[in-house]
Amino acid sequence: MAIIQGFLYVLQPLHFMFLFLGVAGGIIVGAIPGLTASVGIILLLPLVYQLDASTAIVMLCGMFCGAMYGGSISAILLSIPGTPSAAATVLDGYPLSQKGEAGKAIGVATIASATGGIISTFCLIFIAPQLARFALKFGPEEYFALMIFGLTIIASVSGKSLVKGLIAGFFGLLVATVGLDPVTGYARFSFNIPNLMAGFPLLPVLIGLFAISQIFIQLEAVGEKIRHYKQKINKVLPSFKELKRLLPTIIASSFLGTFIGIIPGTGGTIASFLAYNEAKRWSKDPDSFGKGNILGVAAPEAANNSTTGGAMVPLLSLGIPGDVVTAVMLGALLLIGIKPGPFLFREHPEIVNSIFAGMLLANVLILLLGILSVRLFPQVLRTPDAILFPVILTLCFLGAFSLNNSVYDMSVALIFGVIGYIMRKNSFPIAPVVLGVILGPIAEDELGRALIIAHGDWTVLFQSPIAIFFYAISLLSLLYSLKMQFSTCCCSPKKGSWNY
């Protein structure tokens, strides 16, 4: 059992401390409306960059899992989802909180999140190595087709306007073309500026687009709202009888969330709403949903945390992200020096095992921290924006600086912060930009390799059945997004809500 080696690694005091800090930091980041798992990972990345790769990835996994759970705290106490995937938790979490059962709601959210995370990690452990073994047969042309499929996620994360989402995606692809061409080494669009020859550095671009743009948005919202909660948090643990009643819903939602997470282009928000609807459909008392039914908290929380393991399946085994957060994770892994994909399983099994063990232990930590510190974490919601965001802005610039000790990187972060803000204010989603920036160079690289092997014969791209399969599902994915675009937008986010 190779995973035992992973546990032995993660359970070393220093590594476990980093995991603990990652989970605790993730819960705090997730709880604060305005900060998401993506922002947390991006802010953490400069700090873990110099650590050993396994430790860094374990801490990032802790941040990922912690933030997915942390979103439920503000959803229950303030009726504001801390992360987009906690939106469904608001529906019953807040009414429960108003009834004086905030403690119970947070307790159940904690148990459901941890269970969902653990079940999905087991699925990850069983599915990912099999998929990676199959993907070892892939050549450059299959990888190119796979990256094309990865890029079709742009359509599904486009939000209200498909045209704007696609423009954002192609803008990201253009940004990625600046710098040395991966095949010939020719410096494109660099205008003889040495900094531009290396292209736009990924981390400052991510910091700008996700974190700095969010701070500008918060600046606009100054004086609009004050985050306060007055509810007492007590009676956290549900009774054994109640837990027994909740367990089937939690387990079913966990498997549903894992399955949704595996499908690229979906993510926690879709999973949590689907799980909520299923719990309501199967309930003996569906009318009580939306008025404070505890199953309405358990189902979405189990589902959104179970997408963490699900979304890691295509990321680790194929190297394509399942959603926005895993796209950022992909960027983070590449920066640390880990290239996800089937070769990771063959060449660095110790890293894969550390990820598996880290994610399992992260979810155990969520359970322990969530229950033991149930009154502590909500305190972060009392931190005024005027303190929080200036400090985060400083952290953004330090993060951009620290990777290369470069002022240029800080300027890139600032410029992309302004670009991200302008885009978000005009309803251009920024997630497609990130997907374009990350997947574009990989796709071009694989295309170049395939054409070199085939002596420039483009028909090689359409000769492999696996590649044709990926083109077909890419087309289906695009057609589905188009269909969704033209159908009624009943689930469109409210004004001022998330636009990632």
Partner 1 sequence: MGKKEILLSIFFIIISMTIYVLTYQFPKQTVALSPKVFPQFVSACLFILSLVLLIQGITGVKKESEQKKVKLALNNIFLLKMLTMIILAFFYTRILMIVGFVVATPPFIAGSMLLFNEKKWFLIVTVSIVATAVLYILFRIVFKIPLPRFNLF
Q: List interacting residues with partner 1 (CB under 8 A).
A: 46-51, 163-164, 166-167, 170-171, 173-174, 177, 181, 183-184, 186, 188-189, 216, 218-220, 222-223, 384-387, 389-391, 393-395, 397-398, 401-402, 405, 407, 410-411, 414, 418, 421, 426, 428, 440, 444, 447-448, 451-452, 455-456
CB 25 within 8 A of CB 66: yes
Residue keyed to tokens 């979490």: 93
Q: How many residues does the chain have?
A: 500
Q: How far is the CB of 400 from partner 1 (least distance, A)?
A: 9
Cα–Cα distances in angstroms (integers) from residue 413 to residues 178, 209, 394, in the given order:
16, 8, 12
Q: Which is nearer to partner 1, 4 or 193 (CB)?
A: 193
Tell me which residue of 499, 472, 454 sits closest to 139, measured CA to CA.
454
Distance of alpha carbon 50 from alpha carbon 238, whole angstroms: 42
Q: What is the nearest approach in angstroms of partner 1 to the Cβ of residue 446?
A: 10
Nearest approach in angstroms of CB 440 to partner 1 is 8
CB of 23 to partner 1, least distance (A): 17
What is the DSSP code (8-state) at residue 493? P
What pairing do the DSSP bridges indicate for beta strands 179-180 and 187-188?
antiparallel
Shortest separation between residue 3's beta carbon and partner 1, angstroms: 28
Residue 251 to residue 254: CA distance in whole angstroms = 5
Strand partners of residue 180: 187
Q: How many CB atoms lie within 10 A of CB 343?
A: 13
Nearer residue to partner 1 within complex by CB, 18 or 69: 18
Please give the Cα distance from 111 to 106 (Å, whole number): 9
> By C-beta, is 84 or 169 nearer to partner 1?
169
- For the CB of residue 182, give the shortest distance to partner 1 in the complex, in Å: 9
Identify which of residues 220 and 347 has a Cβ nearer to partner 1 in the complex.
Answer: 220
CB contact at 8 A, 7 and 358: no
Cβ atoms of residues 225 and 273 within 8 Å? no
Nearer to partner 1, 92 or 446 (CB): 446
Our CB check for partner 1 shows the closer of 50 and 234 to be: 50
427 versus 497: smaller Cβ distance to partner 1: 427
| Token pair belonging to 6 | 């992973």
Could you tell me the smallest distance in angstroms from the CB atom of residue 399 to partner 1?
Answer: 9
Scanning the structure block, which residue is given the tokens 């791209």? 461
